[in-house]
Amino acid sequence: MCVVGSGPAGAVLGASLAVRGQKVVLLEHGPRLGGLSTRREVTTELAYGDLADRVPEHLRQEIVAPSPASGQPYANAQVGAVGGSSVRWAAFCPRPHPEDLATHTRFGHGRDWPFPYEVLEPWLGRAERALGVSGEAPTPYGAPRSGPFPMPRLSRTELEARILAPAVERLGLTIHGQPVAVASVPAHGRPACERCGVCSACPTGARYSADLVHVPRVETAASGLVLPLIHARRLELDRRGERVLALHAVQTDRPEDDVIVRAERFVLAAGAIETTRLLLLSRDHPRHGRGVGNHSGQLGLRFTDHAFLGYQFVVREPVGWGAPVYGVALDAFRRPAERDRRGAFHFVFVPGAHERLLVDRVLSAGRIDIGALRAQARGSFVALATAELEGAGGRLALDTEIRDAFGDPLARIEIPLTAADEASFMAVDGFVRRLAGAVHAQTLEPMSVRGGFVWGAHPMGSCAMASDPEHGVVDPSLQVFGVANLFVVGSAVFPHFGSANPTLTVVALALRLAARLGAELDDAGARAKVPR
């Protein structure tokens, strides 16, 4: 089996099969980061913008495409390295709610999943165990679950206990712990979180990263192989266009050397953007002239993301430090009564000041007042809202002008905003101002330069699951319609989603697919051993 992409989706699926003795080759566009000591240096540079010029180019690549309807370009930061996006993520792992999988039926927008939450729920539990998620249950706003979290939630912070909890309670709501793939106790070879507050560049290994957990399981299995620096370019199909024969690729450090990978099955797990682009680029076969899986024009349609809206609060009393980033959440708005008119959203909170706003304060004052800056920094915390977008007019296509280093068209992305999206942003802003009053904030400032939003780096929806090829790209088991040995796993297959961060659900789908493929391969092996 050939798996393209070594982030959480590809690594978890590859490891699940390799440890069962299945032959797996895991391909990755970027390089290895090495052990924890090497990764600490690199990920620290990734976490701090003032060191960005020292970060290797392949580790700070962005896909930037015009999105005129939203008024700003679409920029999606990607990590080109073994481990993929998990190398520098905040490790949020909330579950979707049942209605997130049935928004069209319930609220008249989006697309329904081809199966209900009850089918997904057991796999969400397995995904929590695979990632090592710590969390709190029950909470007033949590999704249904059949078992506990693998680890208890991270301990409460001063910000949560002294400031947010009383204020939110006065507003009639309840603050709670955010499920995160960060060890709260030593487990599975990972140390407990040391509360250093730099989760995106975790220096200890407490936070999950695929290159430290599941990629090594592929490599240590006798039947597993990991090949970094391999850039996938197109799929070659058989004469009838019903099976993939080979993946054509190139070595990124030696682009003059072509690579051809032949396998019985192929799984694309390279993220929503690159997976969709690879399918669109694979248009040599007459049956797939618009790209593999694009018989009904669904490939790339309804591409969307989340919107992030950030605010900095300054209060009189110190808010404390030493917290996991965004370890405190408020999910009260993930199931709004008016969801037929606006999207869901949720908040996470972190102590600390946003550096740009501190710089703005100095520039506006015309002088450096160390005492005032210290007081502001000590009394600052950030609220970050993750908002669902309707995604009705979203699209990912091949750019007609811009090409990558190998001559292939890059992705061109549009995500037009709708009236429902604007209503969501207004609802976020309205609650933030109520919260500012409840915490007796001295100042409240939006973190976005434009006073608007930034993209959430959660691309999804461009290879949607459906019950038939007229409405999607893959079937409920993630097989590409019409191609028997090609599968897609990742947020690309989400027909729609609420405001939950996608990684937990991505891993749940990867485990579900691994179970199916493992059973099929076991059956094939057993049949091959039967004497004839």
pLDDT at position 307 over 70:
yes
Q: Is 516 left (phi over 0), alpha (psi -120 to 50) or beta?
A: alpha
Return d(Cα 527, Cα 532) in angstroms, integer: 10
Q: Note the pLDDT of residue 445.
A: 87
At residue 29, φ and ψ (nearest 5 deg) are: -65, -40
Cα–Cα distance list, 368 to 261, 362, 449 (Å): 59, 6, 22
Contact 380/352 with Cβ under 8 angstroms? yes
**Average pLDDT, integer, range 470-487:** 98
When pLDDT is cut at 50, 70 and 90, the band that residue 204 belongs to is confident
Among residues 245, 251, 252, 195, the alpha carbon closest in space to that of 58 is found at: 252
Average pLDDT for 361-390: 71
Q: What pLDDT, on a 0 to 100 scale, did the predictor assign at position 62? A: 46
Q: Is the confidence at residue 228, as pLDDT, over 70? A: yes
Token pair recorded at residue 215 = 């990629």
The answer to whether the bond into 138 is cis (omega within 30° of 0) is yes
Question: Which H or E run includes 13?
Answer: helix 8-18
In what helix (H) or strand (E) does residue 503 lie, and over which residues does it extend? helix 503-529
Q: Which pLDDT belongs to residue 56?
A: 46
* Better-predicted residue by pLDDT, 31 or 508: 508
Q: What is the mean pLDDT of residues 172-182?
A: 95
- Structure tokens belonging to residue 272: 């929503």
Measured at the alpha carbon of residue 87, what is the angle toward residues 81 and 92, in degrees to the nearest 5? 145
Residue 372: in which H helix or E strand, if any? helix 370-378
Q: Which residue has the higher pLDDT, 524 or 108?
A: 108
| 335 close to 344: Cβ distance less than 8 angstroms | yes
Domain enclosing residue 101, as ranges: 2-529
Is the confidence at residue 354, as pLDDT, over 70? no
Q: What is the pLDDT of residues 55-80, one digit of tens each?
A: 444 444 445 554 444 555 666 656 77
pLDDT of residue 392: 86
- Helix locations, 156-311, DSSP H: 158, 165-170, 214-220, 271-281
Residue 61 has a pLDDT of 44
H-type alpha helices, 203-337: 214-220, 271-281
Give pTM, 2 decimals: 0.91
How many whole angstroms separate alpha carbon 452 and alpha carbon 308? 9
pLDDT, average across residues 509-519: 96
**Residue 73 pLDDT:** 61
Share of the chain above pLDDT 90, in %: 66
Matching residue, tokens 């957990």: 213
291: region left, alpha or beta (phi > 0 left; psi from -120 to 50 alpha): left
Q: What is the mean pLDDT of residues 399-425?
A: 90
330 by DSSP, 3-state: which? strand
Is the pLDDT at 4 greater than 90, yes or no? yes
**Alpha helices by DSSP H, 179-263:** 214-220
* pLDDT value at 352 more than 60: yes
Number of neighbours of residue 295 by Cβ within 10 angstroms: 16
- Residue 359 pLDDT greater than 90, yes or no: no
> Are 397 and 280 within 8 A, CB to CB?
yes
The whole-number pLDDT of residue 19 equals 94
**pLDDT for the residue 528:** 59
Picking from 304, 305, 273, 307, the residue whose alpha carbon sits closest to that of residue 454 is: 307
- Mean pLDDT is lowest, of 248-257, 364-373, 492-501, for 364-373
Backbone angles phi and psi of 392, in degrees to 5: -60, -40
**Residue 480 maps to which CATH number?**
3.50.50.60
CA angle 17, 501, 435 (to 5 degrees): 160
Query: Rounded to whole angstroms, how far apart are CA atoms 40 and 340?
Result: 45
The answer to which of 218-222, 262-266, 362-366 has the lowest mean pLDDT is 362-366
Number of CB atoms found within 10 A of residue 376's CB: 18
pLDDT of amino acid 43: 58
Confidence check: pLDDT of 38 > 70: no
Do 425 and 453 form a contact (C-beta atoms < 8 A)? yes
In the chain, how long is the greatest CA-to-CA distance?
A: 88
What's CA 417's distance to the chain center, in Å?
A: 21
Q: How confident is the model at residue 322 (pLDDT cuts 50, 70, 90)?
A: low
Selected residue with higher pLDDT from 131 and 350: 131
pLDDT at 383: 93
pLDDT of residue 529: 61
pLDDT at 127 over 80: yes
What domain count does the chain have? 1
Residue 350 and residue 519: Cα distance in Å, rounded?
A: 44
Q: 383 φ, ψ to 5°?
A: -110, 125
Question: What would the two tokens of residue 490 be?
Answer: 């990742």
**Does residue 131 carry a pLDDT above 60?**
yes
CA atoms of 88 and 45, how far apart (whole Å): 11
Q: What b-and-e string marks burial along 202-235, b requiring 16 or more CB atoms within 10 Å of the CB?
A: bbebbbbbbbbbbbbbbeebeebebbbbbbbbbb
